Amino acid sequence: MTAASDAPAPVIAIDGPAASGKGTIAYEVAQALDFHYLDSGSLYRLIALRAIERGIALDDGATLAGLTGDLEVSFANGRAMLDGRDVADALRTEAVSAAASRIAVHAEVRSALIDRQRAFRRPPGLVAEGRDMGTVVFPDAGLKLFLTASAEQRAARRHKQLIAKGISVTIDGLLRDIRERDARDSTRAAAPLAAAPDAVILDTTDLSIAEVTAAVLAHYRERTGAR
Ligand code: C5P
């Protein structure tokens, strides 16, 4: 059978480094198309939070991968819930960000999360964001984007967000964290941060969220002929 309904739901894969704006852009694009949305980084963050709470060593890949099985995750009004408790703010702390990037180096952890991520692919479509959406998790995505921006611009954006939330941080500290995470994410052996060969690369340094969202939608419409 070759009916169109047998085709897997379309996927837009958006990858890029820390604080490149992927999350906001992916969410906006999903809203515009009425697609599902996967923030794959939140899965790594949830495991990191649980590992910290249980005192599990961040270099123990096998035990960390075991944590993925009993992770009761849900999203209520866009907020991540772990075992029924709202952990949205806890997931965004710099401690959890750094731990997530350390546990993401383990191939066992990554493969334990693959099916969970693919399960988000449902009609009418999915916008998935992370580091390896276009390269590993959804290699057949109809549109792949790789967002970049200078480390300084990314640190400045993160600074603005955190200050608005009343969290006191310095740009220098954020810049150092971002550079460390970039280096670890790009040099790990398992699914390193990289643009897929067929990805559209968008430098967002001088673009607003609205401009990047419009550019992504224009690429999607051009590919699919959708309006
Ligand atoms: O995207 P976010 O900053 O929330 O991701 C947290 C960490 O999880 C990243 O620094 C990265 O190490 C890891 N990650 C990953 N693969 C993904 C998404 C996130 O390795 N697809």
Q: Ligand 1 test: best mutation among 44, 109, 185, 188, most atoms within 8 Å of CB?
A: 44
- pLDDT grade for 4, boundaries at 50, 70 and 90: low
Cα-to-centroid distance, 221 and ligand 1 (Å): 28
pLDDT above 60: residue 3: no
Rounded CA separation 43/48 (Å): 9
Domain 10-216 grouped into CATH 3.40.50.300:
yes
In the chain, domain spans = 10-216
The order of strands in the sheet holding 200-203 is 36-39, 126-130, 11-15, 143-148, 200-203
Q: Is 11 exposed, middle or buried (0-12, 13-18, 19+ CB in 10 A)?
A: buried
Task: Find, among 64, 179, 55, the residue nearest to 110 by Cα.
Answer: 64
Place of tokens 């607003």: 208
What percentage of the chain carries pLDDT values higher than 70?
97
Cα-to-centroid distance, 202 and ligand 1 (Å): 19
Question: Is the distance from the beta carbon of residue 104 to the nearest atom of ligand 1 less than 6 Å?
Answer: yes
Task: Find, among 61, 138, 49, the residue nearest to 105 by Cα.
Answer: 61
Cα-to-centroid distance, 44 and ligand 1 (Å): 6
Helices in 119-170 by DSSP H: which ranges? 151-164
Question: Is the distance from the beta carbon of residue 51 to the nearest atom of ligand 1 less than 6 Å?
Answer: no
Rounded CA separation 207/15 (Å): 17
- Indicate the average pLDDT of the chain: 91
Question: Is the distance from the beta carbon of residue 18 to the nearest atom of ligand 1 less than 6 Å?
Answer: yes
- Contacts of residues 167-170 at CB distance under 8 Å and 24 or more positions apart, as own/partner, are 169/94
Question: Is the distance from the beta carbon of residue 21 to the nearest atom of ligand 1 less than 6 Å?
Answer: no
Question: Is the distance from the beta carbon of residue 132 to the nearest atom of ligand 1 less than 6 Å?
Answer: yes
pLDDT above 70: residue 141: yes
